Structure 1
Amino acid sequence: MEIIQTVFIILVALIHLYILYLEMALWTTKKGINTFGLKSKEFAEETKIMAANQGLYNGFLALGLLWFLITNNFDGIQFLLICVFIAGLYGAYSTKIIKIFYIQSIPAIIALLLTLLF
Structure 2
Amino acid sequence: MSILATVLILLVALLHVYFLVLEMFLWTKPLGLKVFRQSAEKAEQSKVLAANQGLYNGFLAAGLAYGAATGSREFELFFLACVIIAGLYGAATVNKRIFFVQALPALLAVGALLAA
| TM-score normalised by L of structure 2 | 0.96
Can you list the C-alpha shifts for 1:74-93, whole angstroms capped at 9, x where unaligned?
A: 01100110110111111111
Please state how far the C-alpha of 1:70 moved relative to its aligned partner.
1.1
* Residue ranges of structure 1 left out of the alignment (5+ in a row): none
- Give matches, 1:81-92, under 5 Å: 81-92=80-91
Q: Secondary structure at the match of 1:6?
A: helix
For 1:33, give the aligned amino acid. L
Task: Check if 1:48 corresponds to 2:72.
Answer: no
Q: Which has the higher contact order (CA 8 A, sep 6+)?
A: 2
Give the length in aligned residue pairs.
Answer: 116
The aligned residue for residue 76 of structure 1 is 75
Tell me the distance in 2 between the aligned counterparts of 1:92 and 1:31: 21
User: 1:101-112 counterparts in 2 under 5 A?
Assistant: 101-112=99-110
Counterpart in 2 of 1:3? 3
The separation in 1 between residues aligned to 2:92 and 2:34, in whole angstroms, is 19
Q: CA deviation at 1:117?
A: 1.2
Structure 2 residue runs without a partner (length 5+): none
Aligned to 1:116: 114
Secondary structure of 1:84's aligned partner: helix
Structure 1-normalised TM-score? 0.94
Coordinate RMSD, CA, aligned: 0.9
Letter in 1 for 2:78: F
